[in-house]
Amino acid sequence: MTLVLIPGMMCDARMWGGVDAALNTPIHHHLPTGADTMQDLAAQLLQDAPPRFALAGLSMGGILAMEVLRQAPHRVERLALLDTNPRAETPQVQARREPQIDRALSGDLAGVMTDQMIPHYFAAPSPDHEALCLDMALTLGPNAFQNQSRALRDRPDQQPTLAAFRGPALVLMGEHDRLCPHDRHALMHQLMPQSRFEIIAGAGHIPPLERPQETAEALRHWLALPA
């Protein structure tokens, strides 16, 4: 079965750190940049995806995966949610979005990423990973930043969506994830009691880069679960 992978905000397929190549299954990488709502981004993914597929997303990718599941539960055979959050965005975070968008559109996307985003990604400083994240963001550009920021800002709460899912599920987080902490993942595991809950030691918000072998093993186990 094809595995659809959705990266985090302002990331591309490189974010998976080679984990995708280690899974021994057909992979479809989806880049969510072409709309500014989760609903429209999910509709675009569903247009491109196979009739039925496994689905995994990290951070914003996980948020989008939940919207895909809401729109087309009959097409999602299994679900993996990595370092993400099922809740709607808080007003405090929403209020930061437009100033960041304005700064990015005015020519300082690099500053937004290096000042406000990338410092929260990793358990420990990692110049190579930080440079990769900046390069991915600059490759996507400020219009993608605007679209993704607004989609995140206006997203719905997806707790009922997860509670209705009965397929094989994985909830995975980095031990030191400061952006999507433990309570968000414990909630998702509670909503999907059939899910496997994995905590990747020594990782922050992007375990595929920091701990690729451990992340790949967790995903392999999930892919091998009976449907």
Q: What type of residue is 122? A: F
C-beta separation of 104 from 150 below 8 A: no
C-beta separation of 10 from 140 below 8 A: yes
Q: In angstroms, rounded to a whole number, what is the distance separating the alpha carbons of residues 118 and 59? A: 13
**23 found inside a domain:** yes
DSSP 110-142: HHHIIIIIGGGT-SS--HHHHHHHHHHHHHH-H
> How would residue 47 be classed by pLDDT, with cut points 50, 70 and 90?
very high
Average pLDDT over residues 51-68: 98
C-beta separation of 84 from 59 below 8 A: yes
**127 found inside a domain:** no
Provide the percentage of residues in the chain whose pLDDT is more than 90.
Answer: 99
pLDDT at residue 167, as a whole number: 98
Please write the tens of the pLDDT for every residue from 167-209: 999 999 999 999 999 999 999 999 999 999 999 999 999 999 9
**45 found inside a domain:** yes
- CA torsion through residues 213, 216, 222, 226, sign: negative
pLDDT at residue 210, as a whole number: 97
**Number of independent structural domains in the chain:** 1
C-beta separation of 25 from 81 below 8 A: no
Query: Which residues have CB under 8 Å from 3's CB, separation 6+?
Result: 20, 23, 25, 26, 27, 28, 53, 54, 55, 56, 223
Tokens for 60, please give them.
């914003």
C-beta separation of 54 from 77 below 8 A: yes
pLDDT at residue 109, as a whole number: 98
Question: Average pLDDT, whole number, for the chain?
Answer: 97
**135 found inside a domain:** no
**43 found inside a domain:** yes
**197 found inside a domain:** yes
Please write the tens of the pLDDT for every residue from 91-103: 999 999 999 999 9
In 120-211, alpha helices (H)? 127-140, 142-153, 159-163, 182-191, 207-210
| CATH assignment of the domain containing 208 | 3.40.50.1820
Average pLDDT over residues 112-116: 97
**60 found inside a domain:** yes
- Phi/psi of residue 79, nearest 5 degrees: -135, 130
pLDDT at residue 140, as a whole number: 98
Please write the tens of the pLDDT for every residue from 207-226: 999 999 999 999 999 999 99
Query: What is the pTM assigned to this prediction?
Result: 0.97
Q: In angstroms, rounded to a whole number, what is the distance separating the alpha carbons of residues 116 and 101? A: 12
In 52-90, alpha helices (H)? 60-71
**137 found inside a domain:** no
H or E, element range at 198: strand 196-200
pLDDT at residue 178, as a whole number: 95
Parent domain of 59: 3-89+151-224
pLDDT at residue 122, as a whole number: 98
